[in-house]
Amino acid sequence: MRIAMIGGGYVGLVSGACFAEFGTEVAVVETDPAKLAALQAGDIPIYEPGLEAIVRTNTAAGRLTFGADLAAAVRGAQAVFIAVGTPTRRGDGHADLTYVYEAARQIAGVAEDGVVIVTKSTVPVGTGREVARIVRECRPALQFSMASNPEFLREGSAIGDFLRPDRVIIGVEAPGEPQSLAAEQVMRALYRPLYLIETPIVFTGLETAELTKYAANAFLAMKVTFINEMADLCERVGANVHDVARGMGLDQRIGRRFLHPGPGYGGSCFPKDTRALTAIAADAGAPTRLIETTIAINEQRKLAMAERIVALAGGDVAGLRIGVLGLTFKPDTDDMREASSIPIIRALAAQGAEIRAYDPEGMAQAKPLLPEQVQYCAGALEAAEGCDVLVVLTEWNQFRALPPDRLADAMRGRTVADLRNIWDPNAMRDAGFTYSSIGRS
């Protein structure tokens, strides 16, 4: 099979590389000259474990190509995926669909009869039908089918999520009807390797597929926010949030994942998708009050974490040196979008703290987002050097193995704010630290 992937960003690049791993011929279209040059040179512009190897292998095999010529990529393709950005629109929380609709117009001009046009980007309910309308308006004679195939990729484990997913959701214009059979056949053929390993492949209508993506992310964001509130309660009543989470997670109706407390969720999905869902729901006259509250609590929590650090430092951080371990919104990625580190570090710097920071992958991306006075270090112990307070903001595995005595030797003070609960409280206290974590009395 041959497909085109419009957009060489996170979703397009990972999806294109993994489809190529299935044996599909994939042409990725990227119009940003710098990003395209990097991809053609074999340089991956994002950090995602395993992605570089899978891109290299499939590029060498001739199954994966990168270019800027949309017409050449679409020629002969049985499916064309739209995987462009859908950032939050300023002012109203809706997803900005400018790039999606422009891609639809360009595809309409060059696609061949029988093609399946697929939205892979996260898009609001109704976008698939609007894309179909745009294509038919631009080229009434074109015979095509429309599909929605939302991605469920977690940054840091996206390759595994694509190659061994929990499920695949595919929306078509008229499920089970003759006009959608072509789309169903093409999509089944594309995902046949997953069918062979008994992955659930669920066919729905376009609107259902689009809403499923938002509903899933919003529910996970709500789950994260719930355990964060339980962590706060645990601190007040002397309970241990990890034991609470385990007790909850063993209930199969709840599940164990996304029950780890921290300074609040961030990244490219949860913040954007929760805001978009509340905007969609408000327009439909069915407000999602749980999600609205989740958004508000999460934003408040990030600022509350900065206040917690100030309180640990005695109520004033002016002139203090604060070491920060981890900047990205989660480990195993270089993504800084809506990371908790941004408001926390800004608040501490605004109160006069000297910030020394280290992140294994995200420092280049962090620099434009953080105050100019932040000092970036070559390692964790260098970030801790001479610090009065040490703060953990991202749970990179390499931080877990830091010996408490080495930290004590490097630091000037003995105060640690572990906002990811990566260290054992008893070991840290035995090493002489005033140690504060989340949800553990």
- Residue list, annotated binding site for substrate: 152-155, 213, 258-262, 266, 330
User: Of all helices (H) and strands (E), which one includes residue 439?
Assistant: none
Residue list for the binding site for NAD(+): 35, 86, 122, 155, 272, 337
- Show binding-site residues: 35, 86, 122, 152-155, 213, 258-262, 266, 272, 330, 337
CA angle at 150 for the pair 148 and 155, rounded to the nearest 5°? 160
C-beta of residue 358 within 8 angstroms of C-beta of residue 370:
no
Contact 124, 273 (CB under 8 A): no
Q: How many angstroms separate the CA atoms of 397 and 422, rounded?
A: 9
Among 395, 351, 388, residue whose Cα is nearest residue 373: 351
The half-sphere exposure of 389 on its side-chain side, counting CA atoms within 13 A, is 28
Please tell me which residue in 18, 138, 234, 269 is annotated as part of the active site.
269
Residues 340 and 329: beta-carbon distance below 8 Å: yes
Give the C-alpha separation, 288 to 278, whole Å: 6
269 is catalytic: yes
Q: DSSP letters along 359-379, please? A: -TTTHHHHTTTS-TTPEE-SS
Q: Where are the beta strands (DSSP E) in 142-300?
A: 144-148, 168-172, 201-205
Q: In whole angstroms, what is the distance from residue 370 CA to residue 284 CA?
A: 38
Identity at 231, one-letter amino acid code? A
Residue positions annotated with a catalytic role? 269
